[in-house]
Amino acid sequence: MNVMISDITEDLDTTVQGVQAAITLFLLIMAILMIPCSKLSDRWGRKRCFTIGLVLYGVGALISAAAPNLGVLILGNSVLEGVGTALLIPPVYILTTLRFSDLTSRARAFGVISGLGGLGAAAGPLIGGLITTAIDWRAAFVFQAAVIALIVLLSRRITDPLPADPTSPFDGFGAVLSAVGMFFVVFGILQADSNPALMAALLAAGAAFLVGFFLYTRAREQAGKEPLLPTLLFKNRTSNLGLVTQNIQWLLLMGVSFTVAVFLQEVRRYNAIETGVIFTAATVGVLVSSLAAERLAKRRPQKTLIIVGFVVTMAGIGLLLALVGGSSRVIAFGPGLLLIGLGLGVMLTPSVNLVQSSFPEELQAEISGLSRSVSNLGSSFGTAIAGTILVSDLASGNTSYVLAMVALAVLALIGLAAAVRLPAPTPVPGTATERG
């Protein structure tokens, strides 16, 4: 979507802000539904949720391909693909955690998954740019549907190690409270440049709903009922700090991707393929560092890898800032994006592994949903925060771009601070790590 912005705005007679809203809404829907969908994976079965999610995503891609206006594009891409992704992602992490018992093999598995996830996010602009330039932006969504069909076919081999439990309780009211709270927070950020008063009201409402969710959850636990998320998930320091690093990692990835893509298209006037090709540098960086995840996990503590990842990523942002005014050539963005890809690839796997391994198997559905929700919330924050700063004054040229990247650098510093505070991981009694 990032490299299709110019084509979509022209074809659907909309604005950059409209496409930004569609991208952010897609990420937000994933975030707010990830926890409820994780709980449903226990009730419906992990493979069934995975398959339903794939089908919804494929239908959404086809609707997006045929969209006559922004509203239909939002229905297909933001809503259906967002819901589909929320259903299919938690089973991937739950099944991986259940199948790999020791820290090294689990690190290898999460390395493959996180690496391919980061690689997909980094390679998406290149693939989208090639298809958009060679054929049309709508063909990129048809390509998505074709990939989904292939995955559905291959997923027939997947077996669920645990049977579905139709009697598993589901806290619907808690799901609504948490979803509404997160929605208001992100939607409020999007109003920053147009209506500060509305932004403040939405942020306050979002905070109120989230506080209400916490109080409701605690009351439900005290009454002996199963909540959407047990409060003990938030009492583990390693997990809490790991979740912060995950959130900021994906915030940086999506924030940088959106900022650079919009700047190149709307200010420098590059087309989709030119914009996509430059992201090859980030793709190479993520791929190289992710493939080394297993070897790095054996040689260095996970905390060290996360710290190094943030430092390298911040260096990449610094290069993007330093070179934007020094050269008008698109290649000037390559070194910075390469470093950002290397940095993010180094730390994506350790952060996920720290969080997932902090809890026993009976809590894997809950922590997987929380982990993915936090990560996708970070993605939506990245697009909302950096995008809002950038889009607020595109006519200024480099100025709004610099401000957006500086904001991302400050957030990277917060992530680094959280990583530095990470304690040495200790196995939780009953976890697969301890038994391994």
Q: For 126-164, write each residue's pLDDT tens digit.
A: 788 888 888 889 999 999 999 999 999 998 888 887 777
Q: Which residues contact 18 (CB under 8 A, 6 or more apart)?
A: 9, 70
Asked whether residue 134 is assigned to any structural domain, the reply reads yes
| 222-227: average pLDDT | 85
Residue 262 domain-assigned? yes
pLDDT of amino acid 149? 95
Residue type, 221: E
Domain assignment present for 356: yes
CATH code assigned at 385: 1.20.1250.20
d(CA 392, CA 179): 27
Q: For position 146, what pLDDT does the model report?
A: 95
* Total structural domains within the chain: 1
What pLDDT is recorded for position 392? 66
In a domain, 268, yes or no: yes
CB 227 within 8 A of CB 171: yes
Query: Which structural domain range is residue 389 located in?
Result: 2-157+228-431
At residue 17, the pLDDT reads 80
23 versus 52: the higher-pLDDT residue is 52
Q: What percent of the chain has pLDDT over 70?
A: 89
Task: Answer yes or no: is 274 within a domain.
Answer: yes
Give the tens place of pLDDT for each residue, 35-89. Answer: 888 778 878 888 889 999 999 999 999 999 999 999 999 999 999 999 999 898 8
**Residue 283 within a domain:** yes
pLDDT of residue 431: 41
Q: Which residue has the higher pLDDT, 14 or 353?
A: 14
Residue 429 CB coordination number (10 Å):
7
Report the C-alpha gap between 307 and 74 in whole angstroms. 37
Whether 69 maps to a domain, the answer reads yes
3-class state of residue 2 by DSSP: helix
pLDDT of residue 435: 35
399-429 pLDDT, tens digit per residue, is 888 888 898 999 999 999 999 998 865 444 4
Does a structural domain hold residue 167?
no
